[in-house]
Structures are given as structure tokens and as C-alpha cells.
Structure 1
Amino acid sequence: MGYPRKLTRRFRAFDNFAISFTIINIISGIFSSFGFGMNAGGPPILIFGWIGVSIMVLFIGASMAEIASAYPTSGALYFSAGKLAKKHKGAWSWYTGWLNFVGQVGGTAATGFAAATFLQAFFAMQWDTYEVTIQKTVVITAVILVLQALANTYTVQLVAVLNRISVWWLLIGMIVIVTALTVMPSEHQSASFVTHFVNNTGFESAIYGGMLGLLVTSWTFTGFDGSFHMSEETVQATVNAPRGIMRAIGYSAITGLILMLALVYAIRDYAAEAKADAPPVQILIDALGIGTAKFLLLIVIGAMLFCGLANMTSNTRQIFAFSRDGAMPGSRWWHSVSSRTRTPVKAVWLAAACSLVLVIPGWWSQTAFTAIVSVNVVGLFLAYAVPIYLRLKLDDFEPGPWHLGRWGKPVGTVAVVWILLSNVLFMLPHASPITPATFNYAPIALAVVLIIATVWWFATARRRFQGPVSYGRPDEVAAMDLI
């Protein structure tokens, strides 16, 4: 790919799969967004919407996997965008990189914020005198980010081990939660409950309200580019990285559907639980009792912490690669690698600091979490769309060992169309009446990112950034390898 190797290849096929599976994290995604789905469509959208959107995400993942096989680098999306563009390579690479960076920072921040929120819910259940405040959520999030940064500071082997543990935590945790919700309640909803449509969004159009509910699955399926970003640390990356992407999406789709069914059919008092501060937690309490609910909540919190750790790992590799090509302020700092641990330590702490900056407005804003999630999803999915779109325009695309053959362009077309449609949904109002508390800040977040990137591009970047850097011929690069 034209780079001297600085990162140690310690990720095996399972480890590469584990990073994306952990970031997607069905427990974290479903529990943090289930309440929104209860009010925007209800059971039919939660269940059938999950199936439909999962299929669309598989199209996106397949297109990304094909590109990952051809360009297995830490730069991932922005690197491949620069290589696939016929002209204006620097601009395509620049915008993709910044969308990816902001999206990943948002993902790390949002997951930490969600974990802090559920931790406070657990504390309130455990101690009657505990008072939940948004300020405490911010402080707990900051502590979580520091701990995750410390874990990422040490060897990539430690991160790989933690991600292997996280896979089993997710799978075993899902089995425990589903079993408890299936066996313990004295009664369940009838089979026909799957047709129970609900529209509490405030909008008169049931179709619009139901379409908004599709965002539950979209919120969950973010971050599978993690396998792509870990390519330079994965053995046989041209095959294992694309397989990691596809396996993570496929297994998450199946296990997530099982968890979704268990939660839906365990609902007791729909109206009361839908209005609760944390609807899935209230479902656990009503169906299983507070003691069991607290135990299961610990599983959920653990899943969120693992998810945040994997998010930060992926975020760090993107910062490392983007800086290696001189696209960030202080690039020489952020792409340096520790001689002892062989990890980009400075990039780790930059990722943690940027995530904390996104969280700080939560000190005084109740809508902070929604804004952070919007930054995460809109940034990431637009970054996914760019290289796929450029691959569609390229007639002489040279695939790697893992490819779609003649199905490459049809699959890519479906992927791009779905990304554009779902992103429109993310930027439309999500609740009515529209007030400061219900306003969707996604369009503003996207506009701010694009304005800053555009001003910076025309001011200085276009003269010094021409896309991914090539350090020389393969033999010259090999001679520069540090390990």
C-alpha cells in the first residue's frame, strides 16, 4: 500500500471480527434505542424493521468489505476514497477522512455517555438515596474515557484479548437476558402483538412515525469499519478484514433479532414502559423483578463498556493513518508509535480528549446524547458511502482476494441509495412539537463539520494535502519497516 509498517500484526481473524462485532454491540445498541422504537412504530417496526435494515446494512458491509480487501490499511475509508477517485483525489480523501473522524469520535462519546447513563440507573436502583443528575453522567463518562484510553495505551495484544472477551460477554450475556425474559415471566404477549403499531412521535402520519422507528437498527449497526481500520494489525488482512466485516454484521443481525423478540414479547404495560426514562430497564423490572433486573443491567453496562473500548481502538487507528498523511493539525505527534508497546499512544489520548469535548455540553443540555448520536451516525454512514460511490464510478477497479465479482456494482448501488435515504431520516424532525428539547441537531452537526472542513480545505489544505502519501516502491518501503 506504500507505507512502512509501524504497527504490529497481532490480530488474528477472530480478533478482527471481534472489533466490529463489539462496536456494533447489539446489547448496547438495542437497549439504548429501544425506547425510541417503542414510540415510533412499536413492535412491527422493531421486529420487521430490524430484519429489513439488517439486510440493507449487509449490502453496505459487502461493498465495504470488497474495498477493504483491495486497500487493507488503517486509513480505510479515506485512503480508499483517495485511491478510487478519478480526479480531485485529495478533496475526496479529505472530506471522507473528516466525516469518518467526527463520526468515530461521536461513537466513542455516545457509547461512554450511554454507559454512564445506565450506570446511574443501576446506582439509583441499588441505593434509594442516590440522586441522578446530568452532571454526574458527564463526570462518569470522563472516567470511562480515561480508563478506555489507558487500556488502549498498552499493547495491541491486550486490546485483542479484551475484544475476544467482549465477544463472549455479548453472546453469553444475550443468552442470559433472552433466557430470563423467556422463562421467568408468568405471561408473555400473544403472537399477534407483532402487529401492535404505535405512533407516539407527535406526527399525524403513521407512515412517517414508523419510518423514524427504522433508525433503531441504523443506530445499532455503526462502526463495522473497525475491521477495516485494524487491517495493518491483522494477519492476512486482504481476506480476514472483509470476512470480519461480514461476519460481524451477519452474527449481529441474527443475535439482535433474538434479543429484540425477547424484549418485545416481555412487555407488560406498554404505555407506562414506553414513557419510562429507560424503557428496556423498566421492562426488565416489570417482567423479572428488581433483583434480576439489576443483575441483567450489569451485563448491559459491561457490553457498553466493551463497545466504547473497541470504538476508541478503531478511532485511534483512523487518527494515526490520517495524521500519517499530514491531514491533521500536529500530524507528526498523532502518527508516532511507542517503541515499547508499538501502539499510537498520542492518537489514543487525542481520541479520548475529542470524545470528552463532545460530551461536555451534556453538563447543561438534556439533548446532548441525541446530538452526539447524530454526529456518530451521520458522519460514519456518509463516510461509508463515499468510497462505495467512487468504486461504482471506476470501471477498472482492481479487487482483492475477497470480492463480489459481477455483483459488485448492483450491491454498491443499493448500499449508496440506502445510506442516502436513511441519512435523510436522521436529519428530519424526530418528535413533534419541535422544541429545544426535541429538536434534531443532526443537520447542524453535519453542517458545522462540512463548513469547517471546506474552509480549512480552501484556506490551506488543498495546497499541501493530495490524498494518501506513498513512501516509495514496495522494495523501498520494505527497507523502511521498523518491525
Structure 2
Amino acid sequence: MNAETEMKEKISGMRSKSPDEKEVGQVLSIRSYGRAAEDEDRVIDPVLSHSDNMLLADIGYKPELARHFSTFQVFGVAYSIMGLLPSVASVLGTALSAGPAGAIWGWVIAGVGIESIGIAISQLGSSCPTSGGLYYWSNYYAPEKYRSFISFLVGNTNSMALVGALCSVDYGFAEELLSVVVIGKDGDYDVTPAKTYGVFVACVFSHILLTCAASKDCARLQTVSSVANTSLILLFIIALPIGASPNFKDAATIFGKMENFSNWPTGWQFVLSWMPAIWTIGSFDSCVHMSEEAHNATKAVPIGIIGSISACYVLGFVVLVVTCACLQTNNINDDIIGTKFGQPMAAVIYDALGKKWAMALMVLICVCQFMMGASILTAISRQIWAFSRDNGLPFSFWIRRVNQKLSVPINAVWTGGVIAIVLGLLCLIGSTAANALFSLAIAGNYFSWATPILLSMTTGKSKFRPGPFYLGKFWSPLISWFAVAFAAFIIIMVMFPTDQNPGKSDMNYTCVITPGIWILSSLYYWIYAHKVYHGPRKTIEDESEVSYEQNLNMTAEDGLQKEKLKTTLGL
């Protein structure tokens, strides 16, 4: 009896499964995803496969990035990108477009749908953690005839949506920073599109340089950013009521006063007020894109996604209630939405706390918003790197290069940053065109999230193998179908303009940009990309390439887990 046969019998002969043996079962299910596992006669070494890198190798990819991200830091990537208070500040005008009640109840309702998408994505990420997760899963679950095209479309859309999110975050930063200048000059400062774009470009360049730092430094930044964002929220919900006291809005106004500052019907304007939650609690797929740098990725990814969504959902509700309670004016449209400061949150803080406190808090908001941009560029670079690894982008041979010393795909970082600068030229048209950057991120991401969820429940239903996080045969499909329906509705909703009869100044360019990306991606695929892109490709040729002794990314913790599993199996 050889060693492999003996190992098989030891595993199959066990009467009950310990937690370690469940990990072995997870490995054996993950093998079905990878091209490296196409040979069904090949026996996977469960001791080696217990490590994250061996799970990745069994999917078919050679590990190239060091695993410096803890579970908290994976959570921190998404939580930092959401950057609750800076994000709410960026879209507060939209939130209040249906009055205080519209802002609060819009957040509550939209949050339920977002949580359902997060749960569905978490189940896919727990089952098969890889940086290119969304397009990888789409390829695996799609029908054979269309899988490469669908995967290519999802990969391109997700990449551009993340870039759009970076644009919207850094554009929000530029607006917030310039609002500080306006406050400092008592409104005697003209904020032009050119000035806004200049600050935006400087911000993106600084993020490029910051993200090119070593992977372990980027991991530490997520911890710092998470603590900073939470501290800022606590400062805000304590300081603002103190300054606004005793002039608070009553509960009937906060939770029951629905207004309409547009020419849409009030019901539809209330639906449009969901946008702040939809934009703020987004980009949680960044946890998926960091999975090849995370310890225990099958558990870290779902914890990061669901944890970040839940934290922002609850804290966001508190922030909005405090903000609406502390409004010092009854004329929200003119004094808050149309404020001379160019930033509604700046007006709210200024009215409640005065000039000095308004400047101080807005500076702190800017700092946290800046860290948001650094976090999202980190996620963008990993998505772009993963997609180029599979030849999904032009110049993939250059983009996919990794700086082994820093464990950073530096070329992918620069690619994402430069595309953001080009796309950010919309800022020069004006604020309405710049708002398309917000909607582009939403429409693209929701399409990229919904596609693999839908495919995993239809054409690829028989292929799905649950990971450690799975809600069972009843709740899992129920939540996933609700998530797909919600995503479809949101994609349509974000295409609508802010006015019933839009002109050049209030046109929603999302209905042009997002379908344009889909059309251009399709044309590029059929003209050229189909020759080089055939879905996720096998980058590891031999199992020995990631043997325990040669695995450069293996940590001391992995070694301890290996010995523990050896003992369990009696090896």
C-alpha cells in the first residue's frame, strides 16, 4: 500500500469530522474549480492543501503575493473603503433630497438589499477564494459556450467600476478639501471644476505612490484607517449634538418629514434617496480581491464582507439620525443642499459648531477620505493584476508583473491610477457629469456581483460546493435570488437623471458610460481578446512548485497548522 492510498483510507475511515478534517473536505471541493485539478486521478496532499497557498494552487494559480493581511485587516479594507462619515458627507445632498425621513428610511431599506448581496458573495468567496473572484466564478458557473465572454465582460466591468469608485472617492475628497478653504475664507473663494480636478489628480498620484509601498505596509494601513474612521464617527456623534443643543429637530421631523426637492414624483424621489446607502456601503468585493493575501481566506473573506456591511449599516443609521436631528435650518434645499460651501455636510457642521469646529472636522473627514482612496486603489490593483494574469487586459504581460521584494503588483497600481485620472476628466464638465463617477461604480459593481450569483443558482447550480460559510439549502437560494432582484433594480435606478426633463447640465451620463463599457468590452473581445483570453488559466504547471519547502509565502502559523493536521490524520 503506497502513501497516497494509505492517506485516502485514513481520511475515509474516520467516523466523525473534526474542524481540521472539514478543512480537508473544503480542499477536496475546491479542486473542482481549478484547471490544475482537471486530472481526476491526481491525489491532493491534504497536509499541504491545508495552507491558503495550497488551496490557491489547487484552483490552478501559482501563489505570487505574500499573505500579510489578517482577518481584521481584510475587514479593514472594505470598512476603510466605505469610510462611513466621509462617504455620507460626499452624498448628503442626495440623501436629503427627499427630506430627513427620506434620508433615514432610504438608508434602512437599501441596507437590507445590500446585506443580501454581501451574504451571497460571501458564500461564493468562502467556497473559492481568489483575487479575481467575480469573473472567475462567472467563468466557472456559466454555460460552456459563453463562459469566456461572460467572464471577460464581468472582469472588465468590475475593473472599471472599481476605478469609478476611486474617482468618486477622490472627487469627494477634492470637494471636501476645497470646502475647508471656502469656510476659512468665509465663502469668498470660487471653487471651479478646474481647481477640483487639480486636487483630484494630486490625490490620485499620492495614492499611487502610497499603494506601491510594501504589502505589509498596506495591511497596516487598513488597521489605522479602521481605527481612524471609527474614532471620527464617535467624535461626530458626540460633538455635533453638543453644538446644536438645544435646537434639535423633533422625532416627527426626523423620522416622518418627507420632502421632495426635485420634479420627480415624491415616491420615486424617495427611491432615489437610497443612493447614499448604495454608494457608501459598496466595494465590499475588495475583500475578495485581497483573498490571495489573506490568512485563512475561506473564513476571512466572508467575515470581512458581512462584518464591514453590518458595521456601516448600523453606524450609518446613527450618523444620519444625528445629522438630521442637528439641522439648524428648515430650508434644507437652499441652506444645506445648495450651500455656498459647496459641501452639505460642511454647512451642517458650520451651523451647529461654528467656523473653527467646521474646519477641524472637515479636515479630519478629508484625512479619512484620503485613506479610503488608498484602500480602494489597493483593491483595484489586485483585481487588475488578477485579470491581466489571465490575459484579460491589453498589455497584460506588463500589468501582471509583481515586485517580489514588496509583494506588490506595481504596474497594476499605476494602471488603475492612470485610468482614474483619465476618467476623472468628467470633473471638468461640472458636478453633474462628475456624479456619473458615483453611478458608474454602482452600476458596474452591481452587475459584477449579480452575474456570478445568478449563474451559481442556474447554469452552474450542480457545480457549487459550499465553503465554511454557507446558510443551507433553504436560506442560501432565497437570499441569493433576492440579491439578484435587488441588484437588477438598482442598475436600472442609477441610470435615471436627477430631473424629469434633463438638459446638458443635469444629464445622468451613467446611462452612456456604463453601457458604453459593456459595448466596447464586447467589441474588443470579439475582435481580438477571444484569441488570448479563454477564461482563468492555469499558472502552475507542477504541484512541486508550491511544495511546503519551496513555498516562500508560508508563515509560521501555517507550519503549526500543518503539524496539527498531521497529528489529526495520524501521519
In the superposition, the TM-score normalised over structure 2's length comes to 0.82
2:107 is aligned with 1:50? yes
User: Higher mean Cα deviation, 129-138 or 62-71?
Assistant: 129-138
Shift of 1:38: 1.2
Shift of 1:274: 2.9
The partner residue of 1:4 within 62, 72, 75 is 62
1:175 equivalent in structure 2: 234
Cα distance 1:436–1:5, how it changes in 2: closer, same or farther (>3 A)? Answer: same
Shift of 1:464: 2.6
- Rounded to whole Å, the distance in 2 between the matches of 1:443 and 1:477 is 47
2:302 is aligned with 1:239? no
Output the amino acid matched with 1:5.
Answer: P
Output the amino acid matched with 1:175.
Answer: L
- Rounded to whole Å, the distance in 2 between the matches of 1:22 and 1:344 is 21
Query: What does the per-residue CA deviation read over 1:388-411, in whole Å, with 9 as the maximum and x for residues that have no partner?
Result: 111111332111111122122111
Query: What does the per-residue CA deviation read over 1:107-128, in whole Å, with 9 as the maximum and x for residues that have no partner?
Result: 1111111101110110122245
- Rounded to whole Å, the distance in 2 between the matches of 1:36 and 1:179 is 24
1:126 equivalent in structure 2: 184
The partner residue of 1:76 within 133, 155, 159 is 133
User: Higher mean Cα deviation, 414-423 or 400-409?
Assistant: 400-409
Output the amino acid matched with 2:499.
Answer: A
Output the amino acid matched with 2:290.
Answer: M
Kindly indicate whether the alpha-carbon contact (under 8 Å) linking 2:446 and 2:490 is maintained by their aligned counterparts in 1.
no
Output the amino acid matched with 1:383.
Answer: S
User: Higher mean Cα deviation, 171-180 or 452-461?
Assistant: 452-461
The partner residue of 1:322 within 384, 387, 391 is 387
1:313 equivalent in structure 2: 378
- Rounded to whole Å, the distance in 2 between the matches of 1:263 and 1:370 is 23
Where do 5+ consecutive residues of structure 1 fail to align?
none
The partner residue of 2:430 within 358, 365, 373 is 365
- Rounded to whole Å, the distance in 2 between the matches of 1:435 and 1:286 is 33
- Rounded to whole Å, the distance in 1 between the matches of 2:196 and 2:147 is 42
The partner residue of 2:461 within 395, 398, 405 is 395
- Rounded to whole Å, the distance in 1 between the matches of 2:493 and 2:425 is 26
2:476 is aligned with 1:411? no
If asked which structure has higher relative contact order (CA below 8 Å, sep 6+), I would say 1
Shift of 1:366: 3.7
- Rounded to whole Å, the distance in 2 between the matches of 1:200 and 1:261 is 20
Q: For residues 89-238 of structure 1, what are the structure 2 equivalents within 5 Å?
A: 89-127=147-185, 130-186=189-245, 187-193=247-253, 194-203=255-264, 205-238=265-298
- Rounded to whole Å, the distance in 1 between the matches of 2:552 and 2:415 is 24
Query: What does the per-residue CA deviation read over 1:344-381, in whole Å, with 9 as the maximum and x for residues that have no partner?
Result: 00110111100000112323434232111121111111
Kindly indicate whether the alpha-carbon contact (under 8 Å) linking 1:4 and 1:482 is maintained by their aligned counterparts in 2.
no
2:359 is aligned with 1:298? no
The partner residue of 1:37 within 68, 90, 95 is 95
- Rounded to whole Å, the distance in 2 between the matches of 1:52 and 1:299 is 29
Kindly indicate whether the alpha-carbon contact (under 8 Å) linking 1:155 and 1:343 is maintained by their aligned counterparts in 2.
yes
Output the amino acid matched with 2:336.
Answer: E
Structure 1 counterpart SS, 2:85: helix
The partner residue of 1:262 within 292, 313, 322 is 322
Structure 1 counterpart SS, 2:394: coil
Kindly indicate whether the alpha-carbon contact (under 8 Å) linking 2:436 and 2:510 is maintained by their aligned counterparts in 1.
yes
- Rounded to whole Å, the distance in 1 between the matches of 2:134 and 2:102 is 31
- Rounded to whole Å, the distance in 1 between the matches of 2:394 and 2:213 is 24
Cα distance 1:366–1:429, how it changes in 2: closer, same or farther (>3 A)? Answer: closer
Where do 5+ consecutive residues of structure 2 fail to align?
1-58, 554-571
Output the amino acid matched with 1:176.
Answer: L
Shift of 1:481: 5.6
Structure 1 counterpart SS, 2:461: coil
Shift of 1:15: 0.4
2:340 is aligned with 1:273? no
Output the amino acid matched with 1:273.
Answer: I
Kindly indicate whether the alpha-carbon contact (under 8 Å) linking 2:120 and 2:479 is maintained by their aligned counterparts in 1.
yes
Output the amino acid matched with 1:202.
Answer: N
Query: What does the per-residue CA deviation read over 1:56-90, in whole Å, with 9 as the maximum and x for residues that have no partner?
Result: 11100000000001121111211111112232210
Kindly indicate whether the alpha-carbon contact (under 8 Å) linking 1:22 and 1:307 is maintained by their aligned counterparts in 2.
yes
Shift of 1:302: 1.3
- Rounded to whole Å, the distance in 2 between the matches of 1:415 and 1:364 is 35
Q: For residues 379-394 of structure 1, what are the structure 2 equivalents within 5 Å?
A: 379-393=444-458, 394=460
